[in-house]
Amino acid sequence: MKTLLVTGSSGLIGSEVCVYFARELGWQIHGVDNNQRAVFFGPQGDTRWNQQRLQKELPAFQHHELDIRDRAGVLALVQELRPSAIVHTAAQPSHDRAAAIPFDDFDTNAVGTLNLLEAVRQSCKDSPFVHMSTNKVYGDRPNTIRLKELPTRWEYDDPAYANGITEEFSIDQSKHSLFGASKVAGDVMVQEYGRYFGMGTCCLRGGCLTGPNHSGVELHGFLSYLIKCNVEGRLYKVFGYQGKQVRDNIHSLDVARFIHAFVEQPRCGEVYNIGGGRANSVSILEAFELIATISGKQMNYEYVEQNRAGDHICYISDLSKMKAHYPGWDITKTLEDVFREIYEATIGKSRK
């Protein structure tokens, strides 16, 4: 039986990958998580419920309480398991939070990634390694693209970006936030291990990764948190750009499906911008309208005339490279699908 090692297994993407590889492919799953999200974000970021769900629903799942900053622990676990593939989703994921905890942020995102890469190189060099990176590696450089203001959103006003931002976009000489910088370090190291050691590695530079199993908080988890605020009637704060900032949203299932495609046909040191693409793009104002049509409740929000440091005004992923390398993959969950699933999950949790 093939084995999969997933770090951050209680998080949104990690848990989706665990379920997909266990149920659809019949793999044995080893999840690594220590609920650090609750430390970073408080009780609302707690993911123990998701760990317990995996342990209850997946007979092929085994949980490992391990911090990826524990180098000896990581080396020992990978040596013991020698997994068939590794999916690394564990991270400190907030660019706002990183400034308050710079050592924790860098040690988790950069050093933790290096710990895993070296463990894999030493024990199972031929096993594909998938790293969940972020579009924040581009820093605020996307904000230099010429934009036009529409009634409900900002939009690219340069035909070169009609399909979004490609992997050729520069990550250099821009303001990243400390989170973006630590993720750059991990991202480049994943590429280097692929190219230097000939390992099958890839970085998935995610846009807004979302879905019903997201423990969204104000500092991370755009749609999950927005929809939670709508359902509970809580105040949602809009930070700058008139609420017209745009994100492309991809369902965690479609991320898991792409990871499967890469694991089946790995490449060395690749980079992919993974997001919902133009069809699944939405501004905050547009998101307010869409959730209101689903829930029947208007959004309670407050505008703050101060954008977040390094935040993108408009970010849409160009999916051309992903589709060219893996033509069997495409987006299967529409924007409305995503909204409805998160809404129904949020309603379900509020009734418990």
Domain ranges of the chain: 3-351
Does residue 217 register a pLDDT over 70? no
Does residue 251 register a pLDDT over 70? yes
- Which residues are CB-neighbours of 226 under 8 A, at least 6 positions away? 216, 236, 284, 287, 288, 291, 299
pLDDT at 132: 98
Residue with tokens 């390398």, as numbered in its chain:
325
pLDDT band at 179 (very low <50, low <70, confident <90, very high): very high
| Burial annotation 65-85 (CB, 10 A radius, 16+ → b, else e) | ebbbbebebbbebbeebebbb
Does residue 351 register a pLDDT over 70? no
- Mean pLDDT of the 121-136 span: 97
Does residue 160 register a pLDDT over 80? yes
**pTM for the full model?**
0.94
pLDDT at 40: 81
CA-based nearest residue to 98, from 136, 69, 132: 136
Does residue 32 register a pLDDT over 70? yes
Dump pLDDT digits (tens) for 267-322: 999 999 999 999 999 999 999 999 999 999 999 999 999 887 768 999 999 999 99
pLDDT band at 219 (very low <50, low <70, confident <90, very high): low
Q: Is the domain 3-351 a CATH 1.20.1250.20 member?
A: no
Please state, for a pLDDT cut of 70, what percent of the chain lies above it.
Answer: 97
Does residue 39 register a pLDDT over 90? no
pLDDT at 59: 97
Measured over the CA atoms of residue 259, residue 143, residue 313 and residue 104, the dihedral's sign is positive
Please report, for residues 227, 231, 233, 245, 251, the alpha-carbon distance to residue 296 in angstroms, rounded to integers and kept in the order given: 12, 9, 12, 23, 23
